[in-house]
Amino acid sequence: MSRHSTERSVGHHRHCDKCYNLHCQVPVQVSVSCMVLKCRKSCGASFHMCKQEEHQLLCPNEVVPCLNAESGCALTMRRHMLAKHLEVCPASVVCCSQEWNRFPVSETDLIFYKNVSENMDDDLDVGLALRDQDLLFQSIKMKKLFPELMADEPKLQDISPDVTCPAEEASCSFDRGEITEQKEKELSQEERDALARSRDVTGIQKYSSWEKIFSKEKEGCKQSSNNGVLERLGKEVNVAEYNMYLVHNGVMLINFGQLAACTPRDKDFVYGNLEPIEVKTIRTFTVPKSYRAKRSHLKDPARKTTITHQSVDTADLGVSLDDLPKCEEISTTLLCCLEKELKGHLISESTSTDGFYVDIGTQTYSFPSAPFRADASLADVIAGRPRGLHMHVGVESVTRRHNKTSSAFSYMCGSFFRRDEYRSHFRNVHCDIQASLNGWFQQRCPLAYLGCTFTLSRFGPAGHEAGIKYCKDVNSLTLRPQAACPPCEGGKTFSPLKDGAHSMDPLSRLPLEILQHIAGYLDSLALSQLSQVSHLMREVCATLLQERGMVSIKWEKKALSDGRSSWMCSKKVWKFSSVFSSVDRWRFVDAPSMSDHLKTCPFYQREERSDPVALACLGEVRDKQKELKRAR
């Protein structure tokens, strides 16, 4: 039986493969055609009965799982609803990639930031700056910036003298073998040949493999000696390309002894007259007759110049190291981090003495908390100290196509949201609030440069008595209602107990259906906070995860049996995002203006002058008036 007849016998027919007529009247015949049916899902399609399985792969009314089923979404729906479901799919998670720059505090603004650090209020710009500062301090590793100030790692405990270690025995025997080999008399050539022909040698089975390696190296040496790289280049390329090769690979050729240093500086030698020499190969180069060498740093492989590392410091001042002032960890680390990572201003510049030697000036630092641990970050170093603000409260938004400025740190939002929540987050947080904190959404006192920390929030959501606050627990902006909560009965607080429902608070006594209905009006940030109140509220919020939450995969690195490692899905995590209710319009809040604050601002000091003061240009005006009168 042929292959085509085998396929038709399974379910395909010769006529049905090419028939697309809805009103086909071909009679039913075995292996030729079959009857025409309509879709069982009522999608309106008609087809031959043998094509029913193929139609199930395309039917818009067929019930299929979500496209993100492997990512955690367990919903099933009709195929024509997949595209619309992706907008609200809990597994369709979007990461916010908004970036901004933040500068460290300069020395001219120390008064204002000192006052802000002493009085940490709930200001939006201060809260966001502290959040970015904490992320920055956790990312800066002290070992990358100050490797010389690291603490010595603890040494391994010494092995007991009664216990012998195989590795120690091997090293000891190897050392003794080297010592005895140096003391023994050198063998003659005949003795070496006899030893090589002898079969009583340890590891003789590996002789063939070692012989292949040495033979390859020997052939390579012969090839390089007979037809070296420079000789081949001299024949294959022109003079310009050959000289360019010498420029880029001169140091390597000098180290291997194939090229001598022939480009000294003017102060190291004297030329009586210049003699043009065309350098094709190393053999054609001749030293000019007018050259008189005076170099002391000549790079000669056969002659190694003694090098001494000499440090120039403040030892000549006659002051001990303990009496010298210590560096401040935060400001010094930020300065060095900007210099090393973002190419800011250089503390010490490199100076080249000749073509091969470079003098590098290194500035050392002394910190009171040194030495540091190997894995210590800047946040670990300053842990336990009073919290201060060392980053500017103002930000500059940038894009990926914008060249980032020097002496600034870049941040990325990096928060995850459902696809239908990302639009509200980006518009309200980044466009409306964060981009307008410098004087529009929130206004600071004009005398902030003198140290005044007064702020004025000018906007609020239209139609709601609420305000934008910064929540330290979730490190995010929140929409907090301004309505005062009613006091508890008799001023008592309710605390849940284990012995019954009578000790529960009034909200927890409500039926489960009513609690679910109330929780449906909350935003994602409020749901995430409500789920941490009690076990009951956690169960209530869990019923809204499919509708309001999002799911992500947690990956873990596991070692395989063959020694390799691979990332595997450990579990799927459900949670609520940190987005608050969408605000479509903003309104001006009823708050006192900034002029009312200036009347009582302690930094606003008026200087009244009662004595008349002559203007600088008053004498010139009088002289011109006299000249005009004379002219008339």
Of the candidate ranges 45-59, 242-256, 446-460, the one whose mean pLDDT is the lowest? 242-256
Has residue 514 got a pLDDT over 80? yes
Has residue 210 got a pLDDT over 60? no
In degrees to the nearest 10, what's the CA dihedral of 64, 66, 69, 73?
-130
Tell me what pLDDT residue 164 has.
41
Tell me what pLDDT residue 620 has.
82
Tell me what pLDDT residue 161 has.
41
Q: What is the average per-residue pLDDT within 406-424?
A: 88
**Share above pLDDT 90 across residues of the chain, in percent, rounded to a whole number:** 19
C-alpha 160 chain-centroid distance: 46
Strands (E), 294-422: 350-352, 358-360, 396-398, 409-412, 416-418
Has residue 447 got a pLDDT over 60? yes
Q: What is the average per-residue pLDDT within 429-458?
A: 89
Q: Give the separation between CA 94 and CA 426, rounded to whole angstroms.
A: 11
Has residue 229 got a pLDDT over 60? yes
Categorize the per-residue pLDDT at 551 as very low, low, confident or very high, splitting at 50, 70 and 90.
very high
**Domain-wise residue ranges, the chain:** 12-61
Q: What is the average per-residue pLDDT within 248-273?
A: 56
Of 335 and 85, more confident:
85
Tell me what pLDDT residue 191 has.
67
With a CB cutoff of 8 Å and minimum separation 6, the contacts of 496 are 503, 504, 505, 508, 534
Can you read off the two tokens belonging to residue 71?
């990512």
Instruction: Reduce the DSSP state of residue 345 to 3 states and report it.
Output: coil
Tell me what pLDDT residue 630 has.
84
pLDDT tens for each residue of 334-378: 888 877 654 444 455 565 555 555 656 566 778 888 888 888 999
With a CB cutoff of 8 Å and minimum separation 6, the contacts of 109 are 392, 449
Has residue 415 got a pLDDT over 60? yes
Tell me what pLDDT residue 255 has.
64
With a CB cutoff of 8 Å and minimum separation 6, the contacts of 65 are 73, 74, 75, 76
pTM of the model: 0.64
Instruction: Reduce the DSSP state of residue 499 to 3 states and report it.
Output: coil
Q: Which CATH class is domain 12-61?
A: alpha beta
**Other CB atoms within 10 A of residue 65 CB:** 13
Tell me what pLDDT residue 367 has.
86
Categorize the per-residue pLDDT at 120 as very low, low, confident or very high, splitting at 50, 70 and 90.
confident
Of 168 and 481, more confident:
481
Has residue 519 got a pLDDT over 60? yes
With a CB cutoff of 8 Å and minimum separation 6, the contacts of 243 are 279
Of 92 and 488, more confident:
92
Tell me what pLDDT residue 16 has.
84
Has residue 488 got a pLDDT over 90? no
